[in-house]
Amino acid sequence: MKQKITFNIDKNYLSYFFSVIGVSKIIEVFDKEKIEIQFVGGCIRDALMEKKIFDIDFSINCDPNTTAKVLSNNNIAVLEYGKKYGTITAVIKKNRFEITSLREDQNQRGRYTDIIYTSDWSKDARRRDFTFNAMYMSPFGKITDYFFGKNDIQLQTVRFIGDIEERLHEDYLRILRYFRFLGIFQNVNIINNYEKILQKNIFQLKNHVTHERIREEILKMLKNTFNKNSFVSFVNPSEANDLIKTIKQWWIDDKYQLGLNRCMNKVEKIILDI
């Protein structure tokens, strides 16, 4: 693993985090219990890209039972549907915050994993998919960046943590997530050999990810500012990439009309610039 770097976020963005209803309360109740909690992932990535519309998630150095107990003891509503993966969702005035215990993923296969809890932030970072999703920020605005995710944001690059092929075999949903994050950059830079490896593994989606889950990911791609980057060929930007061609054929074969009529039609219009 590369040596981590630390830096401070712009004070205006830190103020924005705390302006979101519920954030201060969550930080306060765990600080009172002397339990370390930090912002994590997409909210930090978005802030570094100067975006102010993002979901706020947390990582925490305790087990999920403790997380739920502290929240409940402080009259904060709790949802436990993600508890088996270490995630407790806090609900404060309709705002939802996922709070996930530091963990390691083991024996990963397709879409499944065994987990063990840890107190090591770097081990939690290693299990994450892309460099810019493995950053943590303390309540004081200090960002810990284990894999130079900030640098990849500046390079407009989606980079897997570790070996791309190994990370895909652990969880094939990462194929869809890779293509989704291409759409956050205007002039995306593709890493050498990524295209070939992604093409080789696309067929695995059919064995491990449902049509509905694929459609959900494509709908997220459609919401990105530069969504066309998720759908077009790396070589010929006027035609669909292998991911979209393959998914469309699966949906035709399986007569998945919801995907074809309410999702793929929108994708094809974007590809054609209609």
Identify which of 39, 22, 30 has the alpha carbon closest to the alpha carbon of residue 93.
Answer: 22
Averaged pLDDT of the chain: 95
Q: Is 204 exposed, middle or buried (0-12, 13-18, 19+ CB in 10 A)?
A: middle
Say if residue 53's pLDDT is above 80: no
| Helices and strands (DSSP H and E) totals, the chain | 15, 10
> If pLDDT is split at 50, 70 and 90, which confidence band does 62 have?
very high
Please count the other Cβ atoms lying within 10 Å of the Cβ belonging to residue 235. 8
For 225-247, how does the pLDDT look when each residue is reduced to its tens digit (9 = 90+)? 999 999 999 888 899 999 999 99
The distance of Cα 86 from the centroid of its chain, to the nearest Å, equals 16
Say if residue 54's pLDDT is above 90: no
> If pLDDT is split at 50, 70 and 90, which confidence band does 107 have?
confident
Cα angle: 15, vertex 77, 102; to 5 degrees: 65
Say if residue 109's pLDDT is above 80: no
3-state secondary structure string across 71-124? HHHCCCEEECCCHHHCEEEEEECCEEEEEEECEEEEEEECCEEEEEECCCHHHH
Is the model more confident about 273 or about 84? 84
For 131-152, how does the pLDDT look when each residue is reduced to its tens digit (9 = 90+)? 999 999 999 999 999 999 999 9
pLDDT for residue 20: 95
CATH architecture of 5-153: 2-Layer Sandwich (3.30)
> If pLDDT is split at 50, 70 and 90, which confidence band does 49 have?
very high
Does an H or E element contain 142, and which?
strand 142-145
For 67-104, how does the pLDDT look when each residue is reduced to its tens digit (9 = 90+)? 999 999 999 999 999 999 999 999 999 999 999 999 99
Say if residue 254's pLDDT is above 70: yes
Give all strands of the β-sheet with 77-79 in edge-to-edge order. 5-8, 142-145, 135-137, 37-40, 57-60, 95-101, 87-92, 77-79
Both tokens assigned to 148? 């130079």
- Mean pLDDT, rounded, for 155-159: 98
> If pLDDT is split at 50, 70 and 90, which confidence band does 273 have?
confident
pLDDT for residue 110: 66
Say if residue 209's pLDDT is above 60: yes
Length, in residues, of the chain: 274
Pairing state between β 87-92 and 95-101: antiparallel
The residue assigned the tokens 């956050």 is 184
3 state DSSP class of 154: helix
For 31-47, how does the pLDDT look when each residue is reduced to its tens digit (9 = 90+)? 999 999 999 999 999 99
3 state DSSP class of 38: strand
Does an H or E element contain 170, and which?
helix 164-170
Q: Is 83 exposed, middle or buried (0-12, 13-18, 19+ CB in 10 A)?
A: middle
Both tokens assigned to 206? 């059919």
